A and B are shown apart, each in its own frame.
Chain A
Amino acid sequence: MARITGALRSPVTFSILAGLVIGALFLVGTGADPFAAYGAVVTGALGADGIGATLTTGTSVLGMALALAIPLRAGLINLGGDGQMVLGGIAAAVTGLYVPLPAPLAVVLALAAGIAAGAAYAAVAALCENRFGVPLLVSSLLLSYPATAFASYLARYPLKEPGSSLPQTRRLPEGVALPVFGSSTVTLGLLLVVLAAVVYWFVDRRTVAGYEIRMTGLNSRFAAYAGVERKGLTLRLMATSGGIAGLVGAIGVLSFPYRFLDGALTAPGYTWTGLTAALLAAAAPLGTVLAAFFFAVLQVGGLAMERTTEVPRELTQVLQAIVIVFLAARLRFPRRRGGAAEKPAAQEPVPQGESV
């Protein structure tokens, strides 16, 4: 009971409500009916016709949200999700195309290759911080661009499907694909990602490593005092993060249309949506899953809303960002309470009228 009232009063609830209200104001301002628009989002994303798309989109969003939440749990921000995902995708494509193994084995190997490629590349960003002192935020972001360019080059030249108008690889051999649920577009990838979420939840809640990660995120000096080694942790977390991003890429390639198409993985902006979800949930495992689902609903429902009500889908993107803006102040809150040494605002005496 206390938990329920607590959840209702939490800043997350507040931020989401505030976002919805501001979104409604936008809608009224442009002459649209907010109830119809929001209704269209919900039916479009969760109705019988939409739930498949929501789960498909949710696979990628949740995957990227996990990828970014894991380092975020320790206070590290990985902005290089795009590059890691794309490298995972191209690695999976190469493996799927050229490994002379029976299809099921090729699928497993392609997934593994995707994970390995993403992990290795993210580890480079971690090394940039550990060895060269380039902040992770910047190193991961800057490294992302060459990675996407490299994958694009591969898809355009050495791996290009002959005769195609698109920069895409050949279609993977028959059977080298993730199994699909019924006639939907939802693949086994969803299960893989959910499994990753469960593992994350388990590690976070029940293991020594998860405990150390959480404590690092809450107070890195405290963790260091107790012997948690930061550089090693950064490397491991980034590799895990990149590995999951790579997995998302591999899942993308091993799903319809079963090939690597330049730009297809990055254009929908899963990395940013995933980061937003991770931020919204403060990287907590269960919260990240819920937030990722929430954003998948917004994304798919937004498109459906545009089809049925003429309200631009960008509205849902606006909603997403507003929620995060409202939350940003809260995100810092626990850390601020912790820093008794860095005297907070109350310490700042109010200066008197300053003559300039």
Chain B
Amino acid sequence: MSRYSIFSLARNALTGHRNWPKAWRSPNPKPAYDVIIIGGGGHGLATAYYLAKNHGVTNIAVLEKGWLGGGNTGRNTTIVRSNYALPGNTLFYEHSLKLWEGLSQDLNFNVMFSQRGVINLAHSDGQRDAYKRRGNVMRINGIDAEYLDRDEVADMVPLLDTSPDARYPVKGGLLQPRAGTARHDAVAWGYARSADSYGVDIIQNCEVTGIDIENGRAVGVQTTRGAIKAAKIGTAVAGHTGHLGAMAGLRLPFETHVLQAMVSEPLKPCLDMVVTSGVAHAYISQSDKGELVFGGDLDFYPTYAQRGNFPRIEEVVETMLTMFPTFSRVRLMRSWGGVIDMTMDGSPIICKTPIDGFYIDGGWCYGGFKATPGSGWVFAHTIANDQPHELNERFTLKRFETGAVIDERGAGATAHAH
């Protein structure tokens, strides 16, 4: 792998940038691999990378039905944080955040992880206490968190409406200073390039159409580019886990929903933090290009179509302008949708399945992007060792049968309320 740096950039400038190598190869699939990862998004590529780097497994194929990072890796609002309250989530997301902190250097690819801070706004006394409760869990677990009062929030986010007579007045907020945003596409590309350098075969335009199971054991996959054998098969196919599970005969506690996101036209810097509101669900930040990036709730009906409808856009924009009234004359530039696996408790599933050699990583609900490094790290561990790491031992399928659900919102067994 040719190293990226200001020096290599200068050197290549002399030759008109004609000699840069491909970031990753485009090999044809081999007949068999030690491990097949289905899904060439951030999670799948990260899994391949950590399998190679941490566990010495390099005979791996990553199968992607379209283009790398074309699922939710390239469709999210790029927020990275670890401000969770329940055991299972806290340390997992924190581990992921720590990996983010060294990711650009680890991958030698600038993923532009911007630790600008994430503020969750509290709009009532109850919410204030709930955020303190969460912040305390974080602190006790060694995760950074600060509680801000209204004036401190107003200082950090000057355009936010913090007036006491607002429809939902801001009472304060929970700040995680180390949280922030990252350049989403770069994460997929960075992992792809590094995984490739370990010899991982990244195969695009290769859709899995069937899982071969013999005697209760997964032995290979059928794809649009032929059958491929493998000793172990893992899926990391945000939004399509239920569908792939069904190929293997599993009924999973998922529904697939569409989540929309949108950006404004680019503006000079006017919002330095990521701000989320708890009353009306919305999250807003400003990209390095200057676009305001924002999103809110699901469209609230199951779908596999990567397109949403207008009522949700109206509601998200209403919320955004209620928070930031002066953005009224700013224009919406682009909106899009991504499909996500909504689990019945809002937390992910990273585990072995009842089928030997078949592993799933899914159920990321709203939160898959920030989990990318952590998810790949523990999923690689799980596949390599055939047992979970401590960090993902609660993310089982079994938890729904036993009742050991990880339900941050307390919304119960619905797939669209978390």
Partners in one complex: no
Question: A residues within 8 Å of B by Cβ?
Answer: none
Question: B residues within 8 Å of A by Cβ?
Answer: none
